Structure formats: C-alpha cells, structure tokens
Amino acid sequence: MKPKIKTYIQPKKIGLTGNIGAGKTTIAKIFKSLGIPIFNSDIESKKILHTPDVRERVAKELNLEYNDIKDVRKLRNIVFSDKNKLLKLNLILHPIVNTQFTKWYRKQTSDYIIKESALLFETNNYKLLDKTILVYASKKVRFERVFKRDISASLIDKVMSNQLIFKEVKEKADFIIDNNGEELLIPQVIKIHELLFNL
C-alpha cells in the first residue's frame, strides 16, 4: 500500500487597503482574531527605513540629511510635500517590502493570508493578489480620526491628496467594508472571512 502524499496548497493572497484613517488596522485586528496571518506593509516599511544601507540610499537619492530620515514624522512631511521625492522613496521601499512579503508568505500555512497596505491600488500590487478588500470611510470621518493622532491638518491634506479617491478604486476591489461608524464591523468581516474560505 502506497503512503498517502500530503499535498500543500498555498494560502490565498488577500489584500487589505484603504485611505489614511479608513480603519485598515482595526479591520486587520479582527481578521487576526479569527486566526488569519497579517503582513503589515507600512510597519515593514518603517523597519526597512531603520536599516543603515537603506537610510543611506534614501538620503542620497532624495538629497536629504541622514537625520531627516531618522525622524519618521519629518520624513513624512518632506515626501508628502514633494511628489517626486515620494515617488523615489516608494521606488526604493516597495521592492524590498515585496521581497520581505514573499519570504513571509512562503512560511504561511493558513487557508488565506492578508497583506495590509495603504497603496495596493496606487502601486498596482493588487494585481499580484487573489482578492482585495477595501475599507471605506468618508473624508470627513477619516480626517477626524487622523487628527486625533496628533497629525497636523496640513499633513493630513497632503497625504490624502496623494491617495486615490474611493470612486477611483471601488470598481477594483472585490469586497468593501463600510467603516463610517454606522455599520457594525465584525459581521462584515465574518461574512468576507466565510466567503474567502469557500473560494
């Protein structure tokens, strides 16, 4: 009798995105509580920026002082005030983040995983994923949420102006979660969770 060969099916790749203040991280925490592994691209980007070789490259290509990069808030102000610098920074960080994601993904064994990223549609990375979840909240609601994080109104406006608006991305998303505060989040997440398991 031949031994049974265990087959390994790679987890489905699910993107989770939304504009600043939409509530991506809140939604990610709910999925995590359901046992779904989460890869946070924004956290990974910050880790990468702490490595000396990347800092040196960013300083050189963006024509910045080394200390400008050590201060994340200062760097954010600089790049969101200059689209060319923002583009250069993204061109440096995104390939490294994608490499780290691939390494992480290969170790996962769940039915599906979630890649959380603010720029899935802007970078076209959503095309590399199986499905995409878009978290939506109105601009007014998002502004109020972000303002509570002690981020200046001018910086919030700069960040928002560099992100695609809802009507530009909603057709690309497979699932939309309403996080304006009127709809309960957990039932929305559980519904999507069940659908993803049955794909």
Query: pLDDT of 40-50, one tens digit each?
Result: 999 999 999 98
- Break the chain into its structural domains and give their ranges: 1-37+110-199, 43-107
Question: Does the pLDDT of residue 89 top 60, yes or no?
Answer: yes
- Non-local (6+) Cβ contacts of 36 within 8 A are 110, 112, 113, 114, 193
DSSP assigned state of 14: E
Single-letter code of the amino acid located at 57: R
The tokens describing 117, both together, are 């990223």
The amino acid that residue 155 corresponds to is L
For 1-37+110-199, CATH gives 3.40.50.300
Q: For residue 5, is pLDDT > 80?
A: no
* pLDDT value at 97 more than 90: yes
**Is residue 7 very low, low, confident or very high in pLDDT (cuts 50, 70, 90)?**
low
d(CA 94, CA 89): 8
Tokens of 96: 């490294």
Question: What are the tens digits of pLDDT across the range 107-164?
Answer: 999 999 999 998 899 888 999 999 999 999 999 999 999 888 878 888 888 888 888 7
Average pLDDT value for residue range 89-117: 95
CB-based burial label for 106 (10 Å; 0-12, 13-18, 19+): exposed
List the structure tokens of 23: 């509530």
Q: Strands across the sheet with 12-17, in order?
A: 38-40, 112-116, 12-17, 131-136, 175-178
Report the pLDDT value the prediction gives residue 2, as an integer from 0 to 100: 53
Number of neighbours of residue 12 by Cβ within 10 angstroms: 16
Q: Answer whether residue 1 shows pLDDT above 60.
A: no
Q: What percent of the chain has pLDDT over 70?
A: 96
CA–CA distances in Å: residue 137 to residues 20, 57, 124, 128, 152: 9, 36, 21, 25, 19
